[in-house]
Amino acid sequence: MKNEQIKNGGKREKSLEKKTLAIGHRLYPYVKNRLHVLENHGILPINMYKPSEIIDDVILDIYEAQVREDIDQHALQILMFGKSYHKIVDLAEREKWHKQNISTKLILEEELKQMEEKFTVDGGFDFILNEELDDISYHQNDEGHSLLDSEDVQHNILSLFELKDSNLMKASEVKQTFEMLYKLLPIQTSNVVDLYVLGKLNLKDISTILETDIVEVKRIVHFVKENFKKQID
């Protein structure tokens, strides 16, 4: 009887391990891009933190918290994305000193300072653009990193913006416009976009992860969507 219980317990543990590893695979693009964004903002030192290390910490937290082996896959996914988000936020808080010592050669940092008057503080979402992005000529060399390298991501962007033309994101002008707009977004606004297009999460799940009202998430998505459409019309 005891051996049977041990055997069954081992099966449940393997089931949890299988689920955490599967979700960890989905977490990777999101965590990787959030670190990249914080590096571009001068908040994190370049290449100091690895997405795999953060995800390993999240999985370790799951086991240390003794999460039930039979936890629903969706609930575990929300839990792991939430933990990843908060670990990245905590990391940014700890590394704020670095931003004070970063070189002004980072063009993105300078451009965001120049655009400060276009942002207004809004609850827990840092800043929301309160003017149309009339000048979309801003561009920064991002060392080849692009959200649009994946066709899967392109599809998710079309879904987020409710665009029906499946070939739209294949046009170089449209891709460039999105990349420019994305780089202009404040950190928390781009985080919502990343959770949707990289994390493949719906708006309700995103609001749960960010611990905010879904109305606020919808408002941010609406802002990004409308400004993107204006630029490609």
Q: What is the pLDDT of residues 72-87, one digit of tens each?
A: 999 999 999 999 999 9
Last residue of a domain, which of 67, 99, 131? 99
Asked if the model's pLDDT at residue 140 lies above 50, the reply is: no
- 119 shares a domain with 86: no
- 74 shares a domain with 43: yes
- 152 shares a domain with 92: no
Say how far apart CA 112 and CA 42 lie, in whole Å: 12
pLDDT of amino acid 156 = 87
- 159 shares a domain with 70: no
Asked if the model's pLDDT at residue 141 lies above 60, the reply is: no
pLDDT of amino acid 138 = 31
Last residue of a domain, which of 77, 99, 121? 99
- 155 shares a domain with 47: no
- 173 shares a domain with 139: yes
Q: Is residue 62 classed exposed, middle or buried when 0-12, 13-18 and 19+ CB atoms within 10 A define those classes?
A: buried
Of the pLDDT bands very low, low, confident and very high (cuts 50, 70, 90), residue 56 is very high
pLDDT of amino acid 136 = 37
Asked if the model's pLDDT at residue 4 lies above 50, the reply is: no
- 52 shares a domain with 145: no
Q: Which domain holds residue 119?
A: 105-232
Last residue of a domain, which of 78, 99, 120? 99
pTM: 0.73
Number of domains the chain is built from: 2
Query: Which residue did the predictor score with more confidence, 215 or 125?
Result: 215
Q: Which of 84, 77, 130, 112 is nearest to 187 (CA)?
A: 112
Handedness of CA 61, 64, 67, 69 (dihedral sign): positive
- Secondary structure of 78-115 in the HEC alphabet? HHHHHHHHHHHHHHHHHCHHHHHHCCCCCHHHHHHHHC
Quickly count: other Cβ atoms within 10 Å of residue 231's Cβ. 17
- 188 shares a domain with 125: yes
Q: Which of 55, 58, 207, 24 is nearest to 124 (CA)?
A: 207
CB-based contacts of 67, cutoff 8 Å, min separation 6: 16, 76, 79
pLDDT of amino acid 75 = 94
Asked if the model's pLDDT at residue 115 lies above 80, the reply is: no
**Residue 165 token pair:** 């033309």
- 121 shares a domain with 202: yes
